Chain A
Amino acid sequence: MAVLVIADHNNASLNDATNKTVTAAKTFGEIDVLVAGEGAGAVAEAAAKIDGVRKVLHADGAPYKTQLAEAMEALVTPLMANYDAVFAPATTTGKNIAPRIAAKLDVMQLSDITAVVDTDTFERPIYAGNAIQTVKSSDAKKVVTVRSTAFEAAADTGSASVETIDAAAGPFKSSFVSEDLSVSDRPELTSAKRIVSGGRALGSEEDFEKYMFPLADKLGAAVGASRAAVDAGYAPNDYQVGQTGKVVAPELYIAVGISGAIQHLAGMKDSKIIVAINKDEEAPIFQIADYGLVADLFSAVPELTDAV
């Protein structure tokens, strides 16, 4: 059996979610990685180093600069004649592309899987992570998106070959206009080992930055936020952790001024150690926190920043 893994990248570097997706795909046997981009030769070289990869298929063309779904589907669907499955990381890019491919192949997709039982059977969380479903697919080909926090990253010790393939012919009915990416020197949220996350109790954008950023920098942590903090404008929306934001599973997750609504817990309850700092001792976050501190964050956070 053979499986195609769609690489997640920004044309300059490979997202580590790709390595994790390769790990998830191992049960399927031979693994090829597709790198579709514009000027993404270095990414293809990086993908060739992932342990367990047979070969890298590299498609270069303007429509792949931002991996728009229409162009990606037109590229991947014909390739599927050679594969039993296609795996993509459950990033916003993977989630955008994969169901379009599944519909063209007339198969049901398996979204956001957290475990591979066998080549037909997968585990995935449902109801905001409040239940785990084991499903068996009767489709001939599998289209799967992978929750990267559930798998270890495959090492970069391989040496696969890179094969250039033709880009799909357009034109496509969608086109890229612009993007506005958040600039951050801190680790990327979904792959960070430590995360400090702020909620509504921070009260303002100024205080969010004043209290959360120094703690994050001291710990070498990424900064996350609850939906309430994002909606109130205290933090940009790509900081949001939860069912509708990012799913993270760092070694250490420090929730500051976050009550712990189920939608938020869905995004972080697989973290190894959870710390909650909240002045409301009844806050639901304390039910899942390994260490809880009932305190005013405006005094506790600076004290913690000084102490670490």
Chain B
Amino acid sequence: MKVLVPVKRVIDYNVKPRVKPDQTGVDLANVKMSMNPFCEIAVEEAVRLKEKGIVTEIVVVSIGVAQAQETLRTALAMGADRGILITAEGDVEPLAVAKILKAVADEEQPGLILLGKQAIDNDNNQTGQMLAALLDWPQGTFASEVVVEDGKVNVTREIDGGLQTVALEGPAVVTTDLRLNEPRYASLPNIMKAKKKPIDTKEAASFGVDISPRLTVLKVTEPAEREAGEKVEDVATLVSKLKAAGAL
């Protein structure tokens, strides 16, 4: 079975984002960028399925600026077989990403598409579900366990009250939650080998998908600052302060 893994280049999760003074967005100039953490988990899961002999080929795809190629190289170094870079300027919304990915899926015919549950920049949590809808495939979101057997994908999902297991008739779309696995670090030899693996570059426009945004960002602002608090010296003082504030 072939697996398709979409990956996104985002601000590194350790960086504290700064809002631009003109309120047009978050300042990404000279900021460290990395693969979205949930996408790393998706790549890792694909590689593990390949190591188990269930998956024969892993295709990674990224949509965005030319530098997204680095993100694809990281995935190739983790064990993916080949990459597809789809270039587009600006922020491409989940609906447009899902439409482009549908076109890629129609071409590649994967048995499974693995995505992260959300990107840590826009925090949308939409692309996987939208892609499943456009393909008319079943979806297994927020996966903490994925078992592929007899043409079915059994997905254990993290839901608000605990865990839920669903059975999906393949092909299926699965989105990864944090606890699905711990992604491996790419070794230096694998990073070198990844440089030789093929990456196909295409333009978003070549898919005939309208990627113009449906949402206009009017402004981006800092969240309300919390007023500076105080340190208390002992538990008794803490309790009396909390009582005075009406919290106890």
Contacts and interface: CB of A to CB of B under 8 A. Distances in A.
Contacts of A180: 162-165
Interface stretch (A23-31, A160-168, A290-298): A290-298
B229 to A, nearest CB: 4
Nearest to A236: B162
Contacts of A133: 217, 219-220
Contact of B16 (A108, A130, A286, A294): A130
A-side interface mostly:
mixed
Interface stretch (B77-85, B188-196, B235-243): B235-243
A182 B164 CA distance: 11
20 contacts: A10-B161, A91-B160, A96-B139, A99-B126, A100-B129, A100-B132, A102-B126, A110-B215, A128-B17, A130-B223, A132-B220, A138-B216, A173-B168, A180-B163, A243-B123, A244-B177, A244-B178, A252-B248, A269-B223, A304-B239
Nearest to B126: A99
Given A69-B139, A252-B242, A95 B125 contact: yes
Contacts of B222: 131-132
Contact of B234 (A73, A92, A293): A293
Nearest to A305: B235
Given A126-B122, A307-B236, 14 more contacts: A70-B138, A96-B141, A104-B133, A108-B213, A134-B221, A173-B168, A175-B167, A177-B165, A236-B162, A238-B162, A252-B242, A286-B231, A291-B238, A308-B248
B161 A175 contact: no
B13 interface: yes
A125 interface: yes
B26 A126 contact: yes
Q: Which label, helix, strand, loop or mixed, suits the secondary structure of the B interface?
A: mixed
Contact of B226 (A101, A181, A238, A288): A288
A272 B120 CA distance: 25
Contacts of A281: 231
B137 interface: yes
Interface residues of A, number: 89
Contacts of A101: 133
A292 B232 CA distance: 6
Contacts of A128: 17, 120, 123
Contacts of A93: 159-160
Interface in B203-221: 213-221
Contacts of A108: 93-95, 213-215
A109 B124 contact: yes
Contacts of B125: 95, 99, 111-112
Interface in B61-106: 93-95, 98
Interface string B151-186: 000100111111111111100100001110000000
7 closest cross-chain pairs (CB), A and B: A99-B129, A103-B133, A103-B130, A174-B138, A99-B126, A108-B214, A173-B138
